[in-house]
Amino acid sequence: MKYQKLHIIGGPGSGKSYIARRLSEKYRLPRHDLDDIFWDRSHADYIRSGDEARQRNLESILENEAWIIEGVYYKWLEKSFEGADKIIVLDTPVLLRQWRILRRYLGYKLSRSHEKNETFANLIELMSWNQKYDRDNLVRFYAFSKAQAHKIVVCSSFSEVEKAVNE
């Protein structure tokens, strides 16, 4: 693989984790989910990590020679975008993302193995936020990362991502 530092961004249910996991397995690159940095995992509820802890954890990832970082966030990730060889934006239809969010929620509820106590209210909030992602957060991401535009590639499938990281 030509690129060793990848940042994958996309809305909830866009396939970020799936694609990051497949790339990680195939190319033996360490994978990092930004949710593990953004949220304080010592709580059963969704509580944000402190800014200092979040930056410290991000910087420890960026110090490595290779990484795949995936998540929906952008505001605190300037260093990640600067350090990335490629920034992959997943372009997945909203309805497909909504279905995946619902399927994941039901899987958590049926398995009872997920560490977070996801409520129906959490599901509705995430689906509502997802509805606005393309016209709100994604637009702001492009404005925020304008200096890195030459690294951005928009993909809608694993095969497109794989082609982009091997060109």
Q: How many domains does the chain have?
A: 1
How many Å apart are CA 79 and CA 76, to the nearest integer?
A: 8
| Tokens coding 89 | 């934006």
Q: What is the average pLDDT score of the chain?
A: 91
Per the structure, the complete domain to which residue 120 belongs is given by 5-166
pLDDT above 70 coverage of the chain, percent? 95
CATH of the domain at 139: 3.40.50.300
Q: Which of 60 and 43 is assigned the larger pLDDT?
A: 60
48-58 pLDDT, tens per residue?
A: 777 888 899 99
Half-sphere exposure of 91 (CA within 13 A, CB side): 8
Please list, in sequence order, all residues whose beta carbon lies within 8 angstroms of the beta carbon of residue 153, skipping any fewer than 6 positions away: 86, 87, 88, 89, 164
User: What pLDDT digit, counting tens, does each position of 64-115 carry?
Assistant: 999 999 998 888 899 999 999 999 999 999 999 999 999 999 988 887 666 6
Whether pLDDT at 158 is above 90: yes
Instruction: Please state the pTM of the whole predicted model.
Output: 0.90
Strands 86-90 and 152-155: parallel
